[in-house]
Amino acid sequence: MSRTSYDRYLTVFSPEGRLYQVEYAFKAITGSGHTSVAVRGKDTCVVITQKKVPDKLIDASSVTHLYSITPSIADAKAQVSRAQQEAAEWRYKYGYEITPDALARRIANINQVYTQRAAMRPLGISMILIGIDPDHGPQCFKLDPAGYFVGFHATAAGQKQQEAMNHLEKKWKKLDNGRGADDPADAGRKLGHADVIEIAIEAMSTVHATDYKPGEIEIGIVSTAEEENPKTRGLWRVLSETEVEQHLLAYAEKD
């Protein structure tokens, strides 16, 4: 069989042990034209993504890649709907909100099913899921089309994700007076509310070599920090353009 023959069957491995349709799903992610970055600290988890409005007549407020799953979990639509459904069923069955790791594991298992049945195809998206765990604090997970998920201190997805990951790794090594590489978890726990947002903005601006305007990026946050409004503390929300502008100015002045 030629390579094109193996392309047609999701459940048939090539002689090299590859599933081409799953690989194509990963290529769809990197070719999406959008970059997303997520960072977590001691009391805050943030995700930032590009906001591209293709036409001036489109209402910019209707364009987003950030969605709320529960009040304290978010990610960036078939998968969003399924995640919301799973979270609602968990709440109904057990009486409390699903934790980020439990939701990530459930959605990853569903992704894995999509690679096993010929009547399905892998979803060409990567989900970054952030939230607050009652016992472990801020959490950040990334799920891929193959059904693999893992927790991160900081991660990136989409276009130029490898460049963003390289930048975040270098940044993390410099944390805690250069001891970030020795104990990444401890270094992350020393990052405050503003620090987490600044690192995410810096990664996005650096890999694209662009000074972003408030309307060109979206920032979603879940935080239990004292700086957060008591009404939204511990809950998912998207920062307003005014707040985004304040953080961009703070980053520019520090830079």
Q: What is the mean pLDDT of each run of 10 residues along the chain (255 residues)?
A: 60 72 75 84 90 74 74 63 92 93 93 80 84 92 90 92 93 88 88 93 92 90 92 92 93 81
At residue 41, φ and ψ (nearest 5 deg) are -130, -155
State the pLDDT at residue 169: 94
Look at the chain and count its residues.
255
**Within the chain, how many helices (H) and strands (E) appear?**
8, 10
**In the beta sheet, which residues pair with residue 139?**
131
Closest CA to 40 of 130, 102, 142, 144: 130
Name residue, tokens 């030629």. Answer: 2
As a whole number of angstroms, the distance between CA 244 and CA 88 comes to 31
The H or E element spanning position 75 is strand 73-75
As a whole number of angstroms, the distance between CA 62 and CA 64 comes to 6
As a whole number of angstroms, the distance between CA 233 and CA 227 comes to 9
- 14: buried, middle or exposed (CB in 10 Å: 19+, 13-18, 0-12)? middle
Closest CA to 83 of 68, 96, 63, 71: 68
Closest CA to 114 of 148, 84, 88: 148
The H or E element spanning position 208 is helix 193-208
Q: Per the structure block, which two tokens stand in for 205?
A: 């601006």
Q: Per the structure block, which two tokens stand in for 94?
A: 């057990």
| Residue 6 near residue 23, CB atoms below 8 Å | no
**In the beta sheet, which residues pair with residue 48?**
37, 219
* CA 195-199-205 angle, 5° bins: 140
CA–CA distances in Å: residue 124 to residues 21, 90, 184, 194, 219: 10, 26, 30, 32, 23
State the pLDDT at residue 76: 42
State the pLDDT at residue 75: 41
State the pLDDT at residue 163: 94
**In the beta sheet, which residues pair with residue 128?**
142
Q: At what angle do helices 193-208 and 161-178 cross, to 10 degrees?
A: 140
State the pLDDT at residue 195: 94
The two most distant CA atoms of the chain are separated, in Å, by 62
